[in-house]
Amino acid sequence: MSKDTEHKSNPQADNIVDKRLMNDAANRAYNAKDGLPDNENDRQNISDSNIDANETLKDEDFSEEISQQDRETIKKVANDDNVSQAKSYASILVEQVMDAKETFERSLGSLFTSAFTAGIEIGISFFMILSAFALLSGVLPSHYAVVLASLLYPIGFIIVVIGQSLLFTEQTSLLSLPVLNKIEPLNKLLRLWGIVIAGNVVGGCLFAALMIGLGLNMQLFSVSDIDIYAEHILGFRWWVIFGSAILAGWMMGVTAWLVTSARDTLSRIVLVTLITGSIGFLGLHHSIVGNIEIFSALLYGNTVSLGRYLLFLAVVLVGNTIGGVVFVAILKNRTFLFELAKVKEETAKDKLEAKNNIRGPY
């Protein structure tokens, strides 16, 4: 009997093959429904593609003050990640620390250029807001026109965050993490902040000088529109602006945290839109966008003096920094240290139990 004849005459084998095919098809349908890959190889490929900086942690990435036991514990906590689930708390924090460490290692020219680019790109938000405000103010009361126009606030932030340019308020908490974990010195952080702020401010001022002037000549908005919007930003006492800036810095720090936790670009765009849109809707004070808003009024308007502009910029920069560092970086880093201590305790307990099991009862 030939092999072909033998195969055809074995219905039991055919049933087994059919069942396997049906199971495979069912699994593919189930995985497709849940957005999961079809097979183990695909799952492994996706898992490999989602490996973050955590997988490349090396001993030289840690400060000499961190013991070997702590290093191994951090690696264990950071690598405890599953692509089918949300990123773990420790995984997000360690990834941010590693990203910040890479930023510290960049050249000064690279840092300034990236920050300068962010300062220009973020200006697109104000350009769109001012154009929308000029259009809406003809049919709505000024207050409502400002609020509705501010819903366009996220546009520049999406460009900056997804394009990975260096924006001070987003990087404030991120860049402080290596210092909090004793990987980088404080003076290096302050120098880095200075470079990023300078790049953002210079880029924003250049955008205001060129693009806002272009918008005036295109009659997209008028000088009075610029003045009205500037007074909408400046029309508070300094301590109110300071408190508003702290809240805005806090929310931008949360944005950086959530963007790191997201696994795909679409999720990041949604998160940036929701949080920065809330900042714009509430009228909170953001130093880099605010720099463009007030500098535009200084150049082309009639109500803002150089003193008011400089005072505003100083107050908002300090407020944003406090909001990003204190309410995001320090608190979340502190939570991570508590989690790290818990893992160390559990690891020591497991080692003791394993040692006792090897010895056996006596």
**Per-residue model confidence (pLDDT) at position 293:** 96
Q: What is the pLDDT of residues 77-97, one digit of tens each?
A: 555 555 445 566 566 777 777
Which of the four pLDDT bands, split at 50, 70 and 90, describes residue 64? low
> Of 165 and 21, which is predicted with more confidence?
165
Query: What is the spatial distance between Cα 90 and Cα 18, in angstroms, rounded to a whole number?
Result: 45
* DSSP three-state, residue 357: helix
Phi then psi for 198, rounded to 5 degrees? -60, -45
Mean pLDDT computed over every residue of the chain: 78
103-130 residues labelled b (16+ CB within 10 A) or e (exposed): bbeeeeeebbbbbbbbbbbbbbbbbbbb
Q: Find the DSSP H helices in 208-286.
A: 213-217, 223-234, 238-261, 265-282
Q: Find tokens 């010195």 and name the residue.
A: 185
Residues 6+ apart with CB under 8 A from 96: 174, 177, 256, 257, 260
Distances (CA, A) of 231 to 30, 37, 356: 57, 54, 72
For 300-356, how does the pLDDT look when each residue is reduced to its tens digit (9 = 90+)?
A: 999 999 999 999 999 999 999 999 888 777 777 776 666 656 655 666 666 666 666
Is 161 a residue whose pLDDT tops 50?
yes
Question: Crossing angle of helices 168-180/306-324, nearest 10°?
Answer: 40
pTM of this structure: 0.73
Rounded Cα gap, residues 105 and 241, in angstroms: 34
User: What is the model's pLDDT at position 18?
Assistant: 44
Q: What is the pLDDT of residues 253-308, one digit of tens each?
A: 888 888 877 778 899 999 999 999 999 999 999 999 999 999 999 999 999 999 99
Q: What is the mean pLDDT of residues 158-165?
A: 92
One-letter amino acid at 126 equals: F
Length of the chain in terms of residues written: 362
Q: Which residue has the tokens 């849109």?
A: 277
